[in-house]
Structure formats: structure tokens, C-alpha cells
Amino acid sequence: MKLLAVVALSISPAMAAGQEFPLLSGAHPVLVTVDDLPITAGRLHPDDAGREKVTRDLLAVLRKHDIKAIGFVTWRNVRDAAGERLLDLWLNDGHELGNHSYTHPDYPRTETEAYVADMEKARATLAAFLEARGRRLRFFRFPFLREGDTAAKLARMREWLKATGQRSVPVTIDTQDWSFEEPWVTAQRAGDAGRMTRLGEDFQHALRLQALLYTSEGDALFERPTPQIILLHANAVGATQWDALFTWMKGRGFRFATADEVLADPALAEAPAFLGRYGGSQWDRIRHVRRQDKAREQIAALLKQQAADWSRGDLAAFTSVYDENAVFISTSGITRGRAALLERYRTRYPDGAAMGTLDFEVVELKDLWGPEVTPLGDATPGAVHGASVVARWTLRREGAAPTSGRTLMVLQRAGSTWRIVHDASM
């Protein structure tokens, strides 16, 4: 199992150096959320008795730690009346049920209206189930935490959620606990106690590290102790490992809290317009959108300054934002390198009268980044390393009509600065 190997690799250096994660400062309220109710990986648990045992064991741990969770239901996992009885066990213990879709589709791979139809079918079914028991449906979670890879998809689901009165519950502590289930069940059925022990140790290492890393990230973003929402799954490995995990969390500055308390925090009121193929932690999304905003501000400022440099006749400053090996393309040919580009401009625009004043109007700016996978298997948005800009330039000279055209620039980030690496002006 790849995850277990990388967990060991990622933790061993720190342990070998005698390092330890410090206690988190301040209290961190945590909402426990459990996906794919009534039970994850149904093919591994085909019989009703086994499914009920896992459910009762999970609920016993939550009860022991006085935790009130949100269980997100994937309705295809319910299957029959026996599955509904498992949901009743959650309700009877005071937990809340939320909508997690009917068939667990992947939004980026699914046509928008087909996806919405699946979510609505699940909503109507679960709402009716809850209404018959005097409860109501309040919460929703995106399958795979994928909210849409286009602005249109993101907007459509937000529109549907608002119209149906459901609140999307994000995840701050993203875990890969589900990946332990199949090897755990396999080892359990084989009576391999040694492997089960190793799997349990790796489960604890992985989830503890994820809890600390994501919580530290949230605290850094908001410069205060932040509330957390941990993602777990209803499975057999959790039934044996949650107790140790929750006990450890209490000792490291976490406090289990209700949905209403945690979701009332302003940090979780932020709904970043994150567009991506993969989901992940809410903190990663917020950090990424902030990075995008900062990159756009920096590039807009660069173009504004470049226009000002041109307008005061300083061609050296104007070309200083180009990469040393930049390529400039125009109708008259290709110029390679910053030095050659400066010489080209000096030849074509020998004085202030020839240069005039320059304005840039940004038509479209697209930042360039890609998803990455952490050593623990979590999807996270990579840094913004580049951007493409479509802009309209306008040149005004005294006694002449303004001239205008378009330019397509590709910029690359170099530390805290940006450099133009390609410029195609027309």
C-alpha cells in the first residue's frame, strides 16, 4: 500500500532527529464528520450483521467521547430497510444526517444537470426519511470534495444549494482514512494480527500528522486558533482506531464541538471560489484563492508601472520586467532576449515624442498552477507559478490619433517578483 510507505518516510526523519510537534496554542473546536453512511466500501461488508456491528462500534466510540457528528449519507449505500435501520441508529444517538449524493458521482467528470439531478434525488429521499422521524435536512457535502472545475459548475451548485436550503460543509482536516479499510479488512479476515498492528500504527501516524498540519495551516491563515472539521469514513478500521485518535486529539489541544458552534465561526463563513479538478482542505482552498488574488494584483501593478515607465520615456525600466531570455513576437518578427528587445525599442522609439504615453487594459488574466499530492495522499492546489495575460494597449502621441492593439503575455514568478517570458503584441 503506497500510502503506508510514504507515511513512514514522511514521519521517520523528524522522529529520528528527536523532533516533536508542539502543542497547538489555544483551544481548537473540532466538528467530526463521517462520510458515506451507512457504511463505506459496502462490497467489503456484504452482510447486514457485519454492517451493523461496524456501525454500533463506531457509535460507541463517539458516545464515549461525547461527540455529536454529522454523518453524510450516500443513498446507494443504504440499499434496503436494513440500511435505513443503520441510519436510525445514528439518529437515535443524537447525530445529524447530511446529504452526500445518491451515487457519489465525480462533478468534474459529470455533466452539470446530471450531477444536480443526482444530488436532488438524494436530497428528496433523505429529506423524506428525516421528516418521517421529525428531523430535517440541513447539510450537504460534495463527493470527493470536488465543487466544480469551472465557474459555471461552481455557480450552478451554489445556486441549487441556496434554493434547497442546504449548507455545504467543507473539510479542514482532510484525511485518507478510507485507504486503510481494504488492507485492514483483508488482514482481519486472514487473522494477521501483526499486519493489523502495523496498519493501526500507520493509521494513527497519518491522521495525527494531518490533524496537526492542517490545523497549523488554518491558524496561520487567520492568525488565531481556528475551528476544524475532520473528515472520517464509516468503516471497520475506524471502529478500532477512532478511540485512540480522539484520545490523542484531546491531549493536543482539540475540543470536540457541535456543528452549530463550529460552522458559526467567521473562518468557515468564507466560501472561496476555488476551481479545480480535485478537492481538499478548506484551508488549502482559501490559501490558494488568496495566492491567486495576490498574483493578479502583482501583475496588474507590474503592467501599470510598465506603462508609467514608458510614458516618462524610460525604456530601460520598461524592459526591466522582461526575463533575460524573453521572446517578443510582433508582425515584424521575433526578438530574443531582454537586451535585444531594449535595443529594438530604442531604435523604433528614439525620443519622447515618438513614444508618447502608454496605457494597458487587462482583458483577461489566467493564473497557471496545477494540483499536487502531499506525501500523505491529500490533493492540494500547487503554487501559482505563472500567468497568461491578454491586454489591450493604447499609445497616444501629441498631434496624432491614438493607436491600439492587443498583446498576449506569459509571465513567470521568480520569488516575489514576476518576469515576462513571452510577449506577442499585435
With b for 16 or more beta-carbon neighbours within 10 A and e for fewer, the 341-379 pattern comes to bbebbeeebeeeeebbbbbbeeeebebebeeeebebbbb
At which of 250, 280, 310 does a domain end? 280
Angle at CA of residue 117, ends 272 and 284, nearest 5°: 20
- Report the CATH number at residue 186: 3.20.20.370
What rounded mean pLDDT belongs to the chain? 92
- pLDDT of 17 reads 38
Could you tell me if 260 and 334 lie in one domain?
no
Beta strand spans in 91-137 (E): 96-99
Q: What is the pLDDT of residue 415?
A: 84
The tens digit of pLDDT for each residue in 125-138 reads 999 999 999 999 99
Per-residue pLDDT, 416: 84
Whether residues 304 and 196 share a domain: the answer is no
Q: Give 409's strand partners.
A: 389, 423
Average pLDDT of 263-292?
93
User: Is a pLDDT exceeding 50 seen at residue 317?
Assistant: yes
| Helices of type H across 179-337 | 181-190, 193-222, 236-251, 259-263, 282-311, 315-319
Q: Are residues 396 and 319 in the same domain?
A: yes
Look up the domain containing 413 and give its range.
Answer: 288-425
CB 79 within 8 A of CB 42: yes
CB 394 within 8 A of CB 361: yes
pLDDT of residue 22: 53
Regarding whether 410 and 272 lie in a shared domain, the answer is no
Write the burial class of residue 297 (CB in 10 Å: 0-12 exposed, 13-18 middle, 19+ buried): exposed
Task: Please tell me whether residues 221 and 148 are part of one structural domain.
Answer: yes
Buried b vs exposed e over 24-45: b needs ≥16 C-beta within 10 Å?
beeebbbbbbbbbbbbbbbebb
| Per-residue pLDDT tens over the stretch 326-364 | 999 998 899 999 999 999 999 999 999 999 999 999 999
pLDDT given for residue 326 in this prediction: 97
pLDDT value of residue 13: 33
**Looking at the predicted structure, is the pLDDT value of residue 20 above 90?**
no
| Domain stops at, among 248, 280, 312 | 280
Q: Do 264 and 304 lie in a common domain?
A: no
Is 70 in the same domain as 159?
yes
Say which residues have a Cβ less than 8 Å from residue 344's Cβ, sequence separation at least 6: 328, 335
d(CA 255, CA 246): 10
Per-residue pLDDT of 190-236, as tens digits, reads: 999 999 999 999 999 999 999 999 999 999 999 999 999 999 999 99
Distance CA 284, CA 234 (A): 24
| Residue reference for cell 508609467 | 308
pLDDT of residue 25: 67
Question: Tens of pLDDT along 64-97?
Answer: 999 999 999 999 999 999 999 999 999 999 999 9
Write the burial class of residue 118 (CB in 10 Å: 0-12 exposed, 13-18 middle, 19+ buried).
Answer: buried
The domain that contains 308 carries what CATH number?
Answer: 3.10.450.50
Same domain, 268 and 339: no
- Note whether 314 and 276 are same-domain residues: no
- Which pTM was predicted? 0.89
Residues 335 and 396 occupy one common structural domain: yes
Among the three residues 280, 300, 332, which one is the final residue of a domain in this structure? 280
Number of folded domains that form the chain: 2
- Kindly state whether residues 80 and 154 are assigned to the same domain: yes
Compute the average pLDDT of residues 52-61: 98
Residue 111 shares a structural domain with residue 155: yes
